[in-house]
Amino acid sequence: MTRPLAAVLVLVSVVLSGCRLSGLEFEQDTRIHFVAPKENAVSYLPIVLTWTAHGVPASDVFALFVDRAPIQPGQNIDAVADSQCRAVPGCFDRDYLNEHQVYLTQQDTFTLTSILHPPSSHKTTTADIHTVTIVLLNSDGVRIDESEFSRDFDLRVSD
């Protein structure tokens, strides 16, 4: 195997494993662990999301992104706002975030009472797969680091 190919394979395996690069050491971030729903579990609304958080300061905020990419490290949560909202004073608030499937909490649980349909790339013939991703924000609403924690679940309509 050539050296450039081997280097690419190592980098891809690090990204896919959920490791983060800290200096020259690889480190698995285990501060947040999903409890419910279980990975790919069949779920019905409302969905109670629960997780454990170790080593997370009480002043940090959990930002939950449902079926959308989270903001980038170092970005403020107001990066979610589109140009139209930015032009209207008072537009950007928790209601705006919730309408765009972004939720903020300092608790280790959150209940989703409604959910938009996922992008067509998430939909299969037998499942309606959704993804929730948690990132950490500081008290100013800025994303703290590159770590993110995701969980997929299969949303079904109750009979």
Q: How many Cα neighbours within 13 Å face the side chain of 102? A: 22
DSSP class of 156: E
What is the per-residue pLDDT for 18? Answer: 54
Q: Please tell me the distance from the alpha carbon of residue 86 to that of residue 92, in angstroms, as a whole number.
A: 7
What is the per-residue pLDDT for 124? Answer: 56
The CATH fold assigned to 31-156 is: Immunoglobulin-like (2.60.40)
What is the per-residue pLDDT for 54? Answer: 94
Mapped onto helix, strand or coil, the DSSP state of residue 138 is coil
pLDDT along the chain (159 residues), means of 10: 59 53 65 96 94 95 97 97 94 96 97 78 69 97 96 84
For the whole model, what pTM was predicted?
0.78
DSSP class of 114: -
Domain limits of the chain? 1-29, 31-156
What is the per-residue pLDDT for 157? Answer: 76
